[in-house]
Structure 1
Amino acid sequence: MVVGLGAAIRDDKGKIVAVLSKPFPGVFSADTGEFLALREGLLLAKNLNLSVQIDEVDAPNVASILNSSAPFLGDASFIVDDIKALCLEVGICKCQAIPRLGNTLAHNLASMALPSLQECSRLDSSLFCPHFHVL
């Protein structure tokens, strides 16, 4: 089984700076899928040396876990630990939950990963995958 992960990085004016669409093997809960997508987006920001101030997720409980100073003891604890370390590296000071409609780009990117089973990323106008288009 494969799930699709999508991440979008925007600047402070809302302009898309970089996006990622990636197939990921496994079956996961919705929260774990959210954690995995966020981690992939943070890795993209780190690899591109982008500074990010806020991460947005559409699951309030995921935002709550990431904003808590208490250790997370769930099944995805290793992913949460990775995310918290990456947040420090790229400059994130908080995680906020936004309505799913406000995060449709990331969901569309996740959907794009499934038919092709290829990882695609885009930085500004540079294209790294031939079938990848951001509308």
Structure 2
Amino acid sequence: MKKSLLLTFIMGIALSYVVTNYVCGMTNDKSIDKLIWNAVPLKKRNPDYSGDATARSSGITFAQAYINEKTLLIEFLSPLIEDATIIVTNTSTGEVIYSESYVLPDIISINMDIRNFGHCQVEIVTAYIILWGDF
């Protein structure tokens, strides 16, 4: 009886370890590489419309942005985005630090050292919406 109880206890611990590691791997907490990723809150700005057309905003978030010491990570959440342009600007000087267009973007990693640039703004321009955030 004691052996059966001990075996059940050991199996329970082993199984809980496996399940915990699996679930933690699924959370996608952006700390897999042991770096701390800070979210860059993105705000919506609709492209200019001519005439009497009204821009309608949706509650859908098309992308998320994260920053650590040397990398800006942009993750596109919608497969509906066919192309996007990413522009990073130094808000102190107005200098464009980075500008690149992507077709069918998924996850984009931009190498940069924010200590050299100070306060910056990222702008994600698509045909439907413009997302921007400060970091």
- TM-score, normalised relative to structure 2: 0.30
Say which structure is richer in helix.
Answer: 1
- Please report the TM-score for the alignment, with normalisation by the length of structure 1: 0.30
Write 1 or 2 for the structure with the bigger share of strand.
Answer: 2
